[in-house]
Structure 1
Amino acid sequence: MASINAKAASVSFRNVTKIYGRDVVAVDSINLEVAAGTLVTLLGPSGCGKTTTLRMIAGLEMASRGQILIGDRDVTSLPATDRDVSMVFQSYALFPHMTVLENVSYGLKFSGFGKAETRERAEAGLALVGLSKFGARLPSELSGGQQQRVAVARALVLEPQVLLFDEPLSNLDAKLRRQVREEIREIQQNLGLTVVYVTHDQEEALAVSDEIVVMRNAAIAQKGTPRQLYEEPADAFVADFIGEANLIPCEILTVSGDQAEVGIADYRQRLAARAMAPGPARLAVRPSRVRLDADMAAPGMAARIVKATYVGSRMEYTVEAPFGTLFAVLDDVTQPLRVGSEVRLSFAQNGPVLVPA
């Protein structure tokens, strides 16, 4: 990881609330810390408050209550022009009649730089995003990924304390999304930037983030590193939203120390108790942690394959089990399980997680 940029600043939300009209609560008393030089993603379904939170950092929305700090400076009441942040929008917002270099230079013209320095900074910004040879082109002559990089360069040349991304990859196809997200992450790490990034794409969030903040119903459901959220979800919502999870009703039979014995039909498994007591619970199981065995003498519970789909690198199965249907992913594509066949169903030792019922 590169050292922190000298201009990069932390972002702090202290009991921040945003209310529209009389009673529409878009963000409900959230506390949030973004360390300088890190990339933090706000993740959640539509309407959860993530974009409103981003816009409050930018000064495009004003907090109804609470305090917002950038570095040590209280910016709660400051307009967007006084906050030293830059934002990359979903639509890129490039001027179609301007060349790429003119687009990147645009903000610099209002920052007190002379012509020569403006051009020098703009060219350096294009070099950072790998577009040095594209300065004379119009946006319409670029691919979607190249236009996105121009938007990033335009934001970077202003040397903001905080760089904001609002669903930056949603207009790109899957392959290009993967490429551009890697480029954004590389630029952020190389330059030591503070970045707050909004997306509803779980895979994107896992790939780029130092920390993920999962939002639900205008509040923070859980925050942590990608690995923490994937492997230790706080509840069923986070388990299902970060990646994909089968949420299976189960019974915690006994708890001994930090270990619980869990029962599902006649199947038993020991796993981390996560401070839960005996009684009803749910088991969150990733599709890749499901085990299906054609040997009916194998340990597990009886189940039946009801759907099998070949997707190239793996097989996807829908399975009928004593508790209902379940989705499983297996790497073996050479000997797929047949639809209608009986199997023994079990779960990997590592991966399944208990969450409250």
Structure 2
Amino acid sequence: MSINSKAAPVVFNNVTKVYGKDVVAVDNINLKIEAGKLVTLLGPSGCGKTTTLRMIAGLEMATKGSIFIGDSDVTLLPATDRDVSMVFQSYALFPHMSVMENVAYGLGFSGFDKSETKDRAVQGLDLVGLKGYGDRLPSELSGGQQQRVAVARALVLEPQVLLFDEPLSNLDAKLRRQVREEIREIQQNLGLTVVYVTHDQEEALAVSDEIVVMYNAGIAQIGSPRDLYDAPADRFVADFIGEANIISCEIVAVSGDTATINIAGFIHTLPSHGLSVGPAQLAVRPTRLIMNAPSGITVTVQKATYVGSRMEYTFKAEFGTLFSVSENVDEPLKVGQSLTIGLDKIGPVLLPKI
């Protein structure tokens, strides 16, 4: 992927946003979004992700700190003076205007003549796969098509940074998957800098070059989708990015970067992650549990659920329950059956004891 010549990095230096006297929405965050990358701000409601996005757009002003887009300090600039475009959750299309008029709307304020405005609008619709739809009204389109019109309207302005605020939340599951793939493909083909807000972990994993996990107005962890999934920094990230079994364990020895742990009598070695001897927790993805292993944790099948492409199991162990999945749907385990569950060599991650 080549980086678009207009694509710009975004930098937050010690940025804080306070509403009123004491409601801290974003607390002293530092963040660098590289040009030409799609970076997702991910987190639960109230974590600060949408406020962060709105500060990039100029729809909210930072209380402290500075924000740069490219080489320009935009901290105090209004939204109209920032070279960014935003795609909203609600699409925000004008119902009385045709699709073509909606896409061309912003161009009318950017100094383009009628001929160039039309050419850009046609090109924008082509980019999002809606060639020939220009004369229709938004009400004549599906939800996914309306969202693509909103994307086209933002793209034709050729912004330095393109912002998405929960763009797929109004679509059903199948459409969400389709539209997110289209957004990712457009971003990669055009080399755009995109900042994308969602609370949907699967969506974030699917579209992102990098994910910024936010929690309690701050940044919990930044990394690639695989980094966050395979090496979460703490229990919140482990629990929030996909599903994870959080198991209490005891670190009984540390040698170099390797820890030996005890889980209900089962001894296992894995990277120590800087932890020392004593109580700890182990985060294990459901796919990283090995059923009928030669050694491991003795469990009993408490629940077995067939969901089409896989089986989902809840196991009862001495210390609580474990959740696991298996693609073997033809020979499912039976409720009440006892077996030994082992740990995959890759995936289980030691975390500090809370």
| Interval of TM-score (by shorter of Structure 1 and Structure 2) | over 0.9
For residues 291-310 of structure 1, give each alpha carbon's deviation from its aligned partner in whole angstroms, at most 9, with x where no partner exists.
222x8xx3222211111100
Specify the alignment match of 1:312 in structure 2.
308
Q: Distance in 2 between matches of 1:309 and 1:134?
A: 44
Which of 329, 340, 346 is 1:344 aligned to? 340
Length-normalised TM-score, structure 1: 0.98
What is the letter of the counterpart of residue 227 of structure 1?
A: R
Q: CA deviation at 1:326?
A: 1.1
8 Å Cα contact 2:44-2:199 kept in structure 1? yes
Length, aligned pairs only: 353
Q: 1:328 is matched by which residue type in structure 2?
A: S
* Alignment map for 1:26-41 (pairs within 5 Å): 26-41=25-40
In 2, Cα distance between equivalents of 1:6 and 1:90: 27
Cα displacement string for residues 20-59 of structure 1 (whole angstroms, at most 9, x for unaligned residues): 0000000000000001111100000000000000000000
The answer to whether the aligner puts 1:206 opposite 2:205 as a matched pair is yes
> Residues 90-239 of structure 1: matches in 2 within 5 Å?
90-239=89-238
Q: For structure 1, which runs of at least 5 residues remain unmatched after alignment?
A: none
Give the equivalent residue in structure 2 for 1:331: 327
Distance 1:268 1:148 in 2: 52
Q: Aligned residues: percent identity?
A: 72
RMSD over aligned Cα atoms: 0.9
Rounded to whole Å, the distance in 2 between the matches of 1:319 and 1:98 is: 56
Corresponding residue of 2:254: 255
Whole-Å separation in 2 of the counterparts to 1:181 and 1:205? 10
Q: Deviations over 1:90-149 (max 9, x none)?
A: 000001111100000100111111111111110010011010111111111111111110
Secondary structure of 2:282 counterpart: strand
* Counterpart position of 1:321: 317
Contact 2:231 2:347 in 1 (8 A): no
TM-score (norm 2): 0.98
Within 5 Å, give how 1:284-295 maps onto structure 2: 284-293=283-292
In 2: Cα distance, 1:234 partner to 1:330 partner: 26
Whether contact under 8 Å (2:280, 2:352) holds in the other structure is yes
CA distance in 2 between counterparts of 1:258 and 1:31 reads 29
Q: C-alpha distance in 2, partners of 1:54/1:269? A: 43
Give how far 1:175 is off.
1.0
Give, in whole Å, the separation in 2 of the partners of 1:62 and 1:273. 42
Q: How does 1:4-83 map to 2 (within 5 A)?
A: 4-83=3-82
Which residue in the other structure is 1:280 paired with? 279
Structure 2 Cα separation of the partners of residues 301 and 29 of structure 1: 43
Letter in 2 for 1:187: I
Q: How far has the Cα of 1:275 moved from its partner?
A: 1.1
What letter is aligned with 1:164?
L
Structure 1 residue 319 displacement after superposition: 0.7
> 1: distance between equivalents of 2:41 and 2:351?
22
Contiguous gaps of at least 5 residues in structure 2:
none
